[in-house]
Amino acid sequence: MGAALALGVLGAPAWAQDVTIAALGDSLTQGYGLPRTEGFVPQLQAWLGDRDAGATLINAGVSGDTTAGGLSRVDWTLTPDVDGMIVALGGNDLLRGLDPAESRANLDGILAAAGERDVPVLLVGMRAPGNFGADYKAAFDAIYPELAAEHGTLLADNFLGALEAMPDRQAAMSRYIQGDGVHPNADGVALIVADLGPKVLDLIARVRGE
């Protein structure tokens, strides 16, 4: 960590020291199925470095984690050196068809824990598929904007938004998703990082009080 901080400072002389951002998430954050340097956190770190953002990221993604799993480990994720947090959870809740009320309560607990420590948060949403019905989708999709408003956090609407917005969904799946049909490949991650990166810059600015 010390060497990384030193390199970060040298690369971004405008900042006295890097801010530290923890990325609390699941396999999408952890980088499932990808070489270590091609996952979401390493690619985002490189994207921020190219912009002299002066930030060091901690990969707190755990494959298979639900919002409940994130809540269970948020306290030890929020160590004293963490200045800000990206929260990107909910995909596994969707895969399991969990009650949106449970997901909401868990995410509410995570945001409350960050608030108690005065740690700014970027909440990254997920969009429910239609196979659970319109009522389920409406309830789940509403979780993220409503909680962001309640807790005053920054919001990115959809982790996979850059891919889901493509007009040819089948071509996008073939080009940017791994063979499991769920996780983005390295090129897909690059598009996600380009989409979410500006929001992360907003988070860094909020950490610095700008």
The predicted-structure confidence for 103-119, as pLDDT tens digits, reads as follows 999 999 999 999 999 99
Q: In whole angstroms, give the CA distance from residue 124 to residue 143.
A: 11
Q: What is the pLDDT of residue 75?
A: 97
Tens of pLDDT, residues 157-194: 999 999 999 989 888 888 999 998 889 999 999 999 99
Per-residue pLDDT for 14 more than 80? Answer: no
Establish how many alpha carbons lie within 13 A of residue 144's alpha carbon, considering only the half-sphere containing its beta carbon.
Answer: 25
Domains of the chain: 16-207 (3.40.50.1110)
Quick check: 159 and 126 in contact, CB under 8 A? Answer: yes
Q: In whole angstroms, give the CA distance from residue 78 to residue 80.
A: 7
On the 0-12 / 13-18 / 19+ scale of CB atoms within 10 A, 178 is: middle
Active-site residue set: 27, 180, 183
